[in-house]
Amino acid sequence: MQSSKVLQYLEDLAFRLGIEIVKEKLGGTDFYAKGGLCKVKGAYKIFIDPAEPIQVQIDILAQSLSAFQTEEVYLLPFIREILKKAQRSQE
């Protein structure tokens, strides 16, 4: 599966879960910020630097989304496997 398609499926899942994806340049000359999941004023957001390689963006989304219950959401099997793998890597 093309990386761009995987990214799109993960972005769609975030939308269905009500999680906003914020794509902004993170970091600067003095610091580096990877991005990821945070809660702002009670709402979950996933911050991603669009300048990062697509695989890094996929990893950030997968790690962030693996924290949520998705059993009741229809997912393609390979997307569900990506989330499970991300969850295992955090344990």
Question: pLDDT tens digits for 10-32?
Answer: 999 999 999 999 999 887 767 67
62: alpha, beta or left? (left if phi > 0; alpha if psi -120 to 50):
alpha
Q: Does domain 3-86 have CATH number 1.10.1740?
A: no
User: pTM of this prediction?
Assistant: 0.89
Mean pLDDT of 44-71: 95
Q: What's residue 66's pLDDT?
A: 95
Estimate to the nearest angstrom the gap between the alpha carbon of 70 and the chain centroid. 14
The residue ranges of every structural domain in the chain are: 3-86
